[in-house]
Amino acid sequence: MSLVVIEQREVEFYGDELIAVRASDGHIYVSVRHLCDALGLDRTAQVRRIRRQEILNDAYQGGAILTPPSRAGVGGGRQQLGLIRVDVVPLFLTGVSINSVREEIRPKLARFQREAAKVLWAAFQQGQLTADVDFDALLVQDTPEAQAYKMAQAVLQLARNQLLMRAQLADHEQRLEAIESQLGDTGRNVTPDQASQISQAVKAVALALGKKTGRNEFGAVYGELYRKFGITGYKMLPARRFDEAMKFLTDWHETLGGPLPF
């Protein structure tokens, strides 16, 4: 069954014209005849090679109806041409022996192997119908456009580096916090052991106060501790104020009947 061509385009590739199509199966194909003509290859021999390789043969369609332009050297009107999917074009071209092309064609073969599939795909995805000129050569030119491009690239590189540095700093800070928490760094919150001592002191004060008032005073004692030290939980008390908090609770307990029982 012949492949149904949905869209056909002429793609200029470094001076050579290739015929590419979008087919009804959703894939993009290129004319084998035009590839072979551009590289000076024997089309019949290359089709035989395609037929011998399972991967290439699965991507080959031999009965597509195309309308080649007259300037391509194949005559006008609708013709049946063999097509190969662009995703296997690099594999197909890699199999071309360097000795099978003339010496002056060899640099072109290398370009085809590197870029042809990308250019043919871009012809349909981006509407790009020609291969890019040597972009690096354009950048060497001291034009306002080249300077603007290089400046934009520098800004992008700077932003990328800053993003990476920010991520690395955040990771380092998280690791430092974990280490300092384990070591009980005095510049941060109380350690689990210190938090336990505060909790026991609050309990002693609340029980002593409750004996006098006849109420559950745990909430009141915690509330007073939080107000005095500007925190919302005893585990959030800065480690540097641990001694101050323990003295506050000890003094409070002494006014209620004696020193803390620990």
DSSP H or E run through 112: helix 106-125
What does the block give as tokens for 186? 């005095």
What confidence tens digit (pLDDT) does each residue in 137-152 have?
A: 666 777 777 777 777 7
**Cα–Cα distance between 112 and 15 in angstroms, integer?**
12
The single-letter DSSP state of residue 57 is: H
Per-residue pLDDT for 248 more than 90? yes
At 176 the pLDDT is 63
What confidence tens digit (pLDDT) does each residue in 161-176 have?
A: 778 787 777 777 667 6
More confident residue, 47 or 119: 47
Q: Is 58 helix (H, G, I), strand (E, B) or coil?
A: helix
**Cα–Cα distance between 123 and 128 in angstroms, integer?**
4
- Which of 86, 1, 80, 92 is CA-nearest to residue 45? 92
Residues 6+ apart with CB under 8 A from 17: 10, 11, 34, 38, 69, 71, 72
Strand ranges (DSSP E) for the chain? Answer: 5-13, 16-23, 28-31, 60-66, 79-85
**Cα–Cα distance between 95 and 55 in angstroms, integer?**
12
pTM given for the model? 0.43
**Distance set, CA 132 to CA 10, 29, 129 (Å):** 15, 20, 9
Q: What is the mean pLDDT of residues 59-67?
A: 74
Other CB atoms closer than 10 Å to residue 31's CB: what's the count?
25
How confident is residue 153, by pLDDT bands cut at 50, 70 and 90?
Answer: confident
Give the whole-number percent of the chain exceeding pLDDT 70: 77
Per-residue pLDDT for 70 more than 50? no
Q: What is the mean pLDDT of residues 244-251?
A: 92
At 136 the pLDDT is 62
**Domain residues of the chain, as ranges?**
5-132, 133-182, 192-255
Alpha helices in the chain (DSSP H): 32-39, 43-52, 54-58, 89-94, 106-125, 135-140, 144-183, 192-213, 218-229, 242-255
**Cα–Cα distance between 120 and 97 in angstroms, integer?**
22
**Mean pLDDT, the chain, integer:** 78
**Cα–Cα distance between 129 and 11 in angstroms, integer?**
5
